[in-house]
Amino acid sequence: MAHPGLIRRQLRFLQLDEAADSKLLGETRELLESSIEDILDELYRHIHQQPELAALFTSDESKVRARRGQKRHWSELLFSGARGQSHLDMMQAAGQAHLRVGLETSPYLAGYCFVLNRFIARLVGRYGAEPAKLQSIVGALNRAAFLDMSFVIDSYIEAKNEDMRE
């Protein structure tokens, strides 16, 4: 598990300014939260067109649970501003859950890209006439997303290494 020093180094390397980035993302809250249901509809339609991914959902309950988790995840990622140990713990739990259900890193990253692209399209629609503002917001979104992905990927690697040790 990553320690606080590693978290600080990742924040610094990504040039993530928690206060400034949280403020920027906070300005988009209404736009992005109002879009999340439609984006998740698109994502899960896309997932269910991939037989190997659709097979990961063993019941309607598992679909509902995954979707609810995704909605909570995106809301917390974008608007909580928390980038410390609790965020890391949450992302490690997400990575472990993905491994438990058999979701590999490639489709995880592809799904992440799918959602980010739809968020960015909505941001362009809203801030396209303000390119400097748009660039700042997309930068904040990318920094938060890549920090998040790095924590999840680290948990995949950690779990795989643990399996190999056993």
Pairwise CA distance, residues 46 & 30, whole Å? 25
- Report the pLDDT value the prediction gives residue 80, as an integer from 0 to 100: 66
Taking 80 as the threshold, does the pLDDT of residue 78 lie above it?
A: no
pTM of structure: 0.85
Instruction: Give me the DSSP letters along 72-105.
Output: HHHHHHHH----SHHHHHHHHHHHHHHHHHT--H
More confident position, 136 or 94: 136
- Report the pLDDT value the prediction gives residue 83, as an integer from 0 to 100: 61
Pairwise CA distance, residues 150 & 112, whole Å? 12
pLDDT > 90 in the chain, percent: 36
Give the mean model confidence (pLDDT) for residues 85-99. 75
Give the mean model confidence (pLDDT) for residues 73-77. 78
Give the mean model confidence (pLDDT) for residues 38-65. 92
Task: Give residue-wise pLDDT tens across range 119-157.
Answer: 999 999 999 999 999 999 999 999 988 988 888 888 888
More confident position, 4 or 138: 138
Q: Is there a contact between 108 and 152 (Cβ–Cβ < 8 Å)?
A: yes
DSSP 130: -
- Label each residue of 29-48 as H, E or C: HHHHHHHHHHHHHHHHHHHH
Give the mean model confidence (pLDDT) for residues 17-24. 85
